[in-house]
C-alpha cells in the first residue's frame, strides 16, 4: 500500500506544478514525446504507446493540446486517413519554461536520499514494473 500512497503523493506534487500552466501531467508527457520526435510528427497511436502513464483518451488529450495551441494536427496529402501530431512553437516555449522547474521538483522529491539509495530505488521500481507487466 505504501507504493500506491507514494505514487499518488508524487503525482499530486507534479500535477500542482503543471496546473498554473493549465496542463496535466499526461499533456506534459505528450509534449515531451513530440519534442523528442522533432522535426517530425507522430501518429496519435504512437504517442499513446510512448506515454509514461497510459491513457485511453489520446484523441481527447491531443484535442485539448491543439485547442491551447501547443500542438499541430495535420493529415498528409498522400493518406488523408492518417493524422500526424507535432509540437508547436508555443508547446516548445512551455516545455522550456517548465524544464528547470520539473528538474528542481524531481530533485526535491528525492532530497535526502543518497546516490546509492536513488539507484536502489530505481532498480526496485524497475523490477516492480517488470513483475506487474508479466
Single pTM value for the model: 0.88
Q: Which residues contact 65 (CB under 8 A, 6 or more apart)?
A: 23, 27, 30, 31, 71, 91
pLDDT tens-place string over residues 89-132:
999 999 999 999 999 999 999 999 999 999 999 999 999 989 98
Contacts of 31-38 with C-beta under 8 Å, sequence gap 24+, read 31/65, 31/70, 31/71, 31/87, 31/91, 31/94, 31/95, 32/95, 34/71, 34/85, 34/86, 34/87, 34/91, 35/87, 35/91, 35/92, 35/95, 37/86, 37/87, 38/86, 38/87
Domains in the chain: ranges and CATH: 23-90 (1.10.10.10)
Q: Which helix (H) or strand (E) holds 42?
A: strand 42-43
pLDDT tens-place string over residues 48-89:
999 988 877 899 999 999 999 999 999 888 887 888 999 999
43 has which bridge partners?
84
pLDDT for residue 129: 87
Amino acid at each position: 500500500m505504501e507504493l500506491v500512497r507514494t505514487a499518488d503523493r508524487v503525482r499530486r506534487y507534479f500535477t500542482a506544478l503543471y496546473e498554473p500552466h493549465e496542463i496535466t501531467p499526461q499533456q506534459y508527457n505528450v509534449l515531451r514525446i513530440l519534442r523528442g520526435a522533432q522535426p517530425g510528427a507522430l501518429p496519435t497511436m504512437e504517442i499513446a504507446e510512448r506515454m509514461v502513464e497510459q491513457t485511453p483518451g489520446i484523441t481527447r488529450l491531443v484535442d485539448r493540446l491543439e485547442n491551447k495551441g501547443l500542438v499541430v494536427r495535420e493529415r498528409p496529402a498522400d493518406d488523408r486517413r492518417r493524422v500526424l501530431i507535432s509540437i508547436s512553437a508555443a508547446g516548445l516555449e512551455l516545455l522550456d519554461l517548465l524544464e528547470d522547474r520539473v528538474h528542481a521538483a524531481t530533485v526535491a522529491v528525492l532530497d535526502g536520499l543518497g546516490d546509492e539509495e536513488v539507484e536502489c530505488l530505481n532498480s526496485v521500481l524497475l523490477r516492480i514494473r517488470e513483475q506487474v507487466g508479466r
